Every structure is written in structure tokens, then in C-alpha cells.
Amino acid sequence: MAKVQNPYFPQEAEILEVIEETPTIKTFVLRSQEPIPFKAGQFMELTVPQLGEAPFTPSSSPHKPERMEITILRTGTVTDALHQMKAGQLVGLRGPFGKGYPVQKFYGKEVLVVGGGVGLAPLRSLLYTLFHNIDKFKRVSIKYGARQPEELCFQREFEKWGKLEGADMDVTIDVPAPGWTGKVGLVTTLLDDLDLDLKSCYVVSCGPDVMLKFVTLKLLDVGFRPEQIYLSMNRNMSCGVGKCGHCVVGRYFLCKDGPDMNYADVMDVPGLFG
Ligand SMILES: Cc1cc2nc3c(=O)[nH]c(=O)nc-3n(C[C@H](O)[C@H](O)[C@H](O)COP(=O)(O)OP(=O)(O)OC[C@H]3O[C@@H](n4cnc5c(N)ncnc54)[C@H](O)[C@@H]3O)c2cc1C
Ligand code: FES
């Protein structure tokens, strides 16, 4: 008889490595008892034993499910505890939940990836997916911003990403900082003179609500249509399987219909950006 996985029952995973990305963000490299196949954009519920669980989207390549990476900003109870954990300790994982990005829809098109702060974590999984089959996309253009240079996540990979055939990358920080010679200004300033086919390009964005709001307004302003824009809607989630109602936005359950939503589907929801 086929093994039925209980969606509420976490499987044990060992922390293999902890990578310090920024003063407040760490990547946890995890090996679960069985590899957990996932698609870019799907999320996991991660349990800290005796404490609780919280939702996170893997930041690693879906092509390497045996070594899942989750990149986590320290912000409260569960994430504080996680940041104290070391290699060799155990956590729980259940999932994956949600639909993931509609990657096949992007075939033959330009893809604009816009991230802010730790929002680059879920997007990194998408980037690895796009890079894996880069010939299938017309271009992958990455725009990323953080408040200060030391808050830029995955800096060690920027040069490689920017030099990939078929890809380019622009990075900015919010305000000038000593030693920073790159661009300065909010991530929306990187959307001013896009060298992309605005009629057919798809955009995927992930970051804090306020960033998502202003990125969306800017994209509409420069000529994108709502149907071209996908937003990662990171509402509080609990069950992950459409039962508890914590994640309802309009007529959608983000845990099942998202968490990445086409803006055309949610643009009329009051208070969409908090
Ligand atoms: C689908 C999904 C994917 C996510 N992926 C990632 C990821 O890859 N990396 C990452 O660092 N975080 C991610 N988050 C956010 C993460 O789930 C929260 O930061 C985490 O739940 C906070 O738990 P806590 O117990 O540490 O904080 P709490 O003690 O519960 O709260 C501390 C503070 O964080 C705020 N907070 C709580 N939950 C959220 C939330 N969902 N979004 C924003 N603020 C919140 C609270 O309002 C409070 O101000 C994701 C959230 C969702 C829904
Ligand atoms: S998280 Fe419970 S219904 Fe979506």
C-alpha cells in the first residue's frame, strides 16, 4: 500500500551547517531523513523542538532536495531560537506547501526578479531553477536592495550571477555607507530605465510588504500589466493545508493558492499590503 504522509507530522532533519549571511540572517543547511522534493516558491513549516514552528521558503535549488537550505531572518521567538542552534542539532520539517512559481509560464520570456532584504532567500531558489535551464528564458534580470551593505544576503554569489550568460544583476543600498561604491537608493530606483520588453516580461518580487507595495506601483507606472506581476505574500501561516484560515487573502488561501500570487488575482483585496 502507498505510504500516506501526514501533513501535520514533521520529519526530523539534522542541521549540517549554519552559514552567517548577515548580522541578522543565517542559512541553515538541513538533511532530512528522506529527501523532500519541492518546487521553487513552495514553503516548509520548520519546527524547533519544544518551542513551535514557523513557515519558511527554501533558498536552495529544488534540484538538490537531499540538502535543503533555509535562510532565516531573526525576528522573534522561533527565529531567535533557531539562530542559537548549531550543526548536529535536530529540527522538524513538514511540507512542502503551496504551489510554487509558475516557471513554465516564463519559458521564452524575460524574467525580472526583484528582491528586498531577506526576500532574496525564496528568490534564490527560483534563480537556481531559472539558471538550471537558462536557455529556456530570454533573459533573467535581478534587482536587489537592502538597507546597508552588511544586510545584503548571499553577497558571495552576486558576481557569478551577474556574469552568467543570459543574466544580469543590479544591487542597491538604501542610504550611503562608508566604503560602498555601488548604487544608492531604494530598490524601486533600479526599475527606472529597464532594458526589457515590458509587454511580455514577467516579474517576480519578494520582500517586506512596504517594498512589495512600492515595487508594484512602480512596475505599473513604467508600463507592466497586473497579470505580468507575481508577488510573494508572506502572511502568517499555520496549518499549511487550507484548514485553519490564517492565510486567507480575498477568496484565496495563500498556503494552497500561493504564497506567490499573480497581482491581477489579488489587486482588489482591501489592505493587500498591510
Ligand atoms: C510562506 C512564507 C515563507 C516565508 N519564508 C521566509 C524565509 O525564507 N526567511 C525568513 O526569514 N522568513 C520567512 N518568512 C517569515 C517567517 O515565517 C517569520 O519571520 C516567522 O514566522 C517569525 O517567527 P518568530 O516566532 O521568530 O516570530 P514571532 O515571535 O512570531 O514574531 C516576531 C515578529 O515577527 C513578525 N512576524 C511573524 N510572522 C511573520 C511573517 N509571516 N511575516 C512577517 N513578519 C512576521 C511578527 O509580527 C512580530 O513583529 C516566511 C513567511 C511565510 C508565510
Ligand atoms: S495556513 Fe491554514 S489555511 Fe492556510
Assign residue 151 the CATH number of its domain: 3.40.50.80
246 lines ligand 2 (CB under 6 A): yes
Both 92 and 107 in one domain: the answer is no
pLDDT at site 1: 46
CA of 55 to the centre of ligand 2 (A): 11
Both 86 and 117 in one domain: the answer is no
Q: Is residue 238 part of a domain?
A: no
Q: Is residue 139 part of a domain?
A: yes
53: domain CATH number? Answer: 2.40.30.10
HSE, side-chain direction, 13 A CA sphere, residue 90: 9
Both 157 and 55 in one domain: the answer is no
CA of 101 to the centre of ligand 2 (A): 19
Both 15 and 127 in one domain: the answer is no
Q: Write the burial class of residue 204 (CB in 10 Å: 0-12 exposed, 13-18 middle, 19+ buried).
A: buried
Both 89 and 123 in one domain: the answer is no
* Domain total of the chain: 2
pLDDT at site 236: 78
**Minimal-distance CA residue to ligand 1 atom 10:** 72
CA of 179 to the centre of ligand 2 (A): 45
Both 115 and 77 in one domain: the answer is no
Q: From the centroid of its chain, how far is CA 239? A: 20
**Minimal-distance CA residue to ligand 2 atom 3:** 242
Beta carbons of 238 and 256 less than 8 angstroms apart:
no
Question: Per residue in 50-77, pLDDT tens?
Answer: 999 999 999 999 999 999 999 999 999 9
Q: Is residue 259 part of a domain?
A: no
| CA nearest to 172, candidates 126, 211, 228 | 211
Range of the domain at 131: 103-232
Q: Is residue 268 part of a domain?
A: no
Q: Is residue 39 part of a domain?
A: yes
253 lines ligand 2 (CB under 6 A): yes
Beta-carbon contacts of 56 under 8 Å, excluding residues fewer than 6 positions away, are: 43, 44, 46, 70, 71, 72, 121
pLDDT at site 273: 86
Both 146 and 122 in one domain: the answer is yes
What are the grid coordinates assigned to 75, written together?
Answer: 525576528
* Residues of the chain predicted below pLDDT 50: 1-2
Q: Is residue 163 part of a domain?
A: yes
Q: Which amino acid is at 112?
A: L
Name the CA dihedral angle for 240, 243, 247, 248, rounded to a multiple of 10 degrees.
Answer: 140
Both 67 and 124 in one domain: the answer is no
Both 191 and 90 in one domain: the answer is no
243 lines ligand 2 (CB under 6 A): yes
Proximal ligand: closest to the CA of 45: 1
Q: Ligand 2 test: best mutation among 233, 243, 251, 257, most atoms within 8 Å of CB?
A: 243
Beta carbons of 52 and 118 less than 8 angstroms apart:
no
Both 177 and 119 in one domain: the answer is yes
Beta carbons of 49 and 85 less than 8 angstroms apart:
no
Both 209 and 131 in one domain: the answer is yes
Q: Is residue 254 part of a domain?
A: no
Q: Is residue 3 part of a domain?
A: no
Q: Indicate the residue among 97, 123, 140 that finishes a domain.
A: 97
Ligand 1 atom at shortest distance from the alpha carbon of 82? 26
CA dist 122 and 57 (Å) reads: 5
Both 15 and 129 in one domain: the answer is no
